[in-house]
Amino acid sequence: MSVTEQGLLERDKDTMTLNMGPQHPSTHGVFRVILEMDGEVVKTAEPEIGYLHTGIEKNCENKRYVHVIPMTDRLDYLNPPGNNLAFCLSTEKLLGIEIPERANALRVIMCELSRIASHLVWLGTHALDIGAMTVFLYCWREREMILDLNEEVSGVRMMTSYIRVGGVAKDATRPWLDGIRDFLDYFPAKVDEYERLLTRNPIWLDRTEGIGVFTREEAINWSLSGPALRASGVNWDIRKSQPYSGYDNYSFDVPIQTNGDIYDRYRVRVEEMRQSRAIIKQAMERLPGGDYKTPDNKVSLPARETLHTSMEALIHHFKLVSEGISVPKGETYVPIEGARGEVGFYIVSDGTNVPYRVKLRAPSFMAIPGMCKAMEGCYIADVVGIIGSIDIVMGEVDR
Amino acid sequence: MTSEEIVEKVKAGLADAIQDAVLPQGDAVIFVAPDCLQKVAAFLKDDPSLKFDYLSDIRGVDYLNEERDPRFEAVYQLYSIDHQHSIRVRVGIDEENPSVPTVSELWKGALYPEQELFDMFGIHIEGHPKNERLIMPKEWVGHPLRKDYPLTTETVTFSYNRDFKSELVKSKPPTR
């Protein structure tokens, strides 16, 4: 008779509750997960969120449309232009205005640059979690260059608020465009360098292959999106399926992998960086001339020099600054492909200059329950790998 | 399918269950009563030509200022990965005992947004495994995104800061 049969050792109850976070560096913010451990194996993982809740959605209901844009920067703080764009597209759909071609191209350049920057942060920290220190330093080096470019065009390194309702905040400058050209020439070799460090590294493969697996059906059912969904073999990129800002004019590939494990999510994101570079290159080559924001002065400020000569411009300027944009009554939702997946703002307008309700569809928020489900049955050491591979940003989870 | 075709298809398949179907700015939007939600959701997911297998998001809206009846609304955004079309399902919820059935059996991704719906609007989710707060602390009173919940500052429960003001008063030389 074995020890278990005698009831001397009740293995089922021999578990340990382990608290991870909210201050754990590998939880990428203030994410807390309570793990029920059986030895080294995770039995259940219970997520706990809300530590970074700042009431942004409630605040948005008390701010004018223009004032909401800087708040959207702070939601997904690694990809601020994506959030700006999602909010502006929803507002513009309600307003029913057309955006000039140049503004669209500038938006695409900005969003793709920030997608690269966001993936660099992800790759650096994810590799650091698993134990590869050098990649982190390399990724930070390239990200600094993108932040410098952000500063050149918008004056701010991270929270750019560059994309505004009706276009963009400022026109492209010569040093910015030159800087992007230099970066595009410099960057591909660096992606190859990261891949040389990781892609066929046996330690990296051991830690990532076959861990945290989502099948195609599971990934869809758990509402994963973006690179995490595409690593499970789902061919869905909003830039292709529901094109916005002229993405249908660019030729680029959507990287797909089929195993749905940590390694495939890594492969998808690294390839996405290359594709983003290709999109920026095309946008730079055919950057159209013309306005960088809509000429409709009910939405965007008139040019500074016209204020001295045109009474109408002066009135528009005064009304826009003192009252803001009035958006027609209605409700709408425009999804975009952010760095982490589907981002979109559901906006309800009551016809005034203040949104009645603003709701962010945050890819990280939607992915958390599925992510914790994937932890069950894994070793404790893989928990940080799974969190890193889904790439959560707590700013948009807690809002 | 285009939005018009989706609306036509849903109208034909669920004539008795949906209240209204509209096309604002080209989006397919249907209005459903809470007691029909699960039936409608199952139809939308299982019908082969619709096949809304992906739940994008669930949001709550409080229409208190609009003086609309019913006061609350839960809005479900669905997407079909295969057919690449989307639909919005708007469910009006009464002010008295606000409650809506769960759809988390169909889409597991609904678990979190439904819990948030309860947290932020106090809408009870029937059949949800966890009817408790998600983002706000467990002991929080009220539902912050309701329109009658004021936007105020939070009172500081405790502080380790020294009370400089009272010390100043103490250290002041007595006046004659």
Best to test chain B binding among A56, A97, A220 (most B CBs inside 10 Å): A220
Residue A11 lies in a domain: no
CB-based contact, B92 to chain A, within 8 Å: no
**Could you give the residue ranges of the DSSP H alpha helices within A131-208?**
133-154, 174-198, 202-208
Residue A2, pLDDT score: 47
> What residues of B are in contact with residue A361 (Cβ under 8 Å)?
56-57, 77
**Chain center to CA of A289:** 29
**Chain center to CA of B76:** 8
Chain A nearest C-alpha distance from B166 (Å): 32
Domains defined along chain B, listed by start: 3-171 (3.30.460.80)
Please give the structure tokens belonging to residue A26.
């590998």
Cα distances (angstroms) measured from residue B91 to each of A55, B36, B101: 24, 9, 11
Q: Tens digits of per-residue pLDDT, A15-59? A: 788 888 788 777 777 888 888 888 888 888 888 888 888 888 888
Please give the structure tokens belonging to residue A362.
């945050």
Q: Residue B62 pLDDT > 70, yes or no?
A: yes
Per the listing, tokens 């203040």 go with A354
Mean residue pLDDT across chain A: 88
Residue A346, pLDDT score: 93
Nearest to B55 among A58, A223, A332 (CB): A223
Determine how β-strand A163-164 pairs with β-strand A167-168. antiparallel
Bond into A243 cis (ω within 30): no
CATH code for the domain of A169: 1.10.645.10
Bond into A22 cis (ω within 30): yes
Nearest CA in chain B to A225: B56
**What band does A268 get if pLDDT is binned at 50, 70 and 90?**
very high
CB-based contact, B128 to chain A, within 8 Å: no
- Answer yes or no: do B145 and A57 touch at CB < 8 A: yes
Long-range contacts of A43-47 (CB under 8 A, 24+ apart): A43/A15, A43/A376, A44/A376, A45/A372, A45/A373, A45/A375, A45/A376, A45/A383, A46/A372, A47/A368, A47/A369, A47/A371, A47/A372
User: Which of A159, A191, A179, A161 lies closest to A78 in space, CA to CA?
Assistant: A159
Q: Tens digits of per-residue pLDDT, A57-82? A: 888 888 888 899 999 998 888 989 99
CB-based contact, B33 to chain A, within 8 Å: no
Nearest to B136 among A50, A335, A366 (CB): A50
**What band does B155 get if pLDDT is binned at 50, 70 and 90?**
low
Residue A381, pLDDT score: 87
Per the listing, tokens 């000039």 go with A100
In chain B, which ranges are E strands? 18-22, 29-32, 54-62, 72-80, 85-93, 99-101, 124-126
Q: Are B55 and A223 in contact (CB under 8 A)?
A: yes
Residue A152 lies in a domain: yes
Backbone angles phi, psi at A24, to 5 degrees: -70, 130
Q: Residue B161 pLDDT > 70, yes or no?
A: no
Alpha carbon distance A207, A129 (integer Å): 11
Q: Are A377 and A234 in contact (CB under 8 A)?
A: no
Q: Tens digits of per-residue pLDDT, A218-249? A: 899 998 988 999 999 899 999 988 899 889 88
**What band does B8 get if pLDDT is binned at 50, 70 and 90?**
confident
Q: Which residue has the higher pLDDT, A174 or A6?
A: A174
Residue A3, pLDDT score: 43
Q: Which residue has the higher pLDDT, A343 or A132?
A: A343
Residue A94 lies in a domain: yes
Sign of CA dihedral A213, A219, A225, A226: positive
Residue A39 lies in a domain: no
DSSP per-residue letters across A48-86: E--TT---HHHHHTTS-HHHHHHHHHTTSTT-HHHHHHH
- Answer yes or no: do B108 and A49 touch at CB < 8 A: no
Domain residues for the domain of A109 are: 56-398
User: How many structural domains are present in chain A?
Assistant: 1
CB-based contact, B84 to chain A, within 8 Å: yes
Portion of chain B with pLDDT greater than 90, in percent: 9
CB-based contact, B95 to chain A, within 8 Å: no
- Which amino acid, residue A371? M
Residue B65, pLDDT score: 77
Residue A207, pLDDT score: 87
Residue A287 lies in a domain: yes
Residue A185 lies in a domain: yes
- Answer yes or no: do B84 and A241 touch at CB < 8 A: yes
Cα distances (angstroms) measured from residue B112 to each of A93, A205, A297: 28, 32, 41
Nearest to A365 among B53, B112, B151 (CB): B112
Residue A23, pLDDT score: 81
Alpha carbon distance B153, B138 (integer Å): 19
Residue A192, pLDDT score: 92
Residue B165, pLDDT score: 54
Q: Residue A5 pLDDT > 70, yes or no?
A: no
Residue A96 lies in a domain: yes
Residue A23 lies in a domain: no
Per the listing, tokens 């005698």 go with A6
Portion of chain A with pLDDT greater than 90, in percent: 35
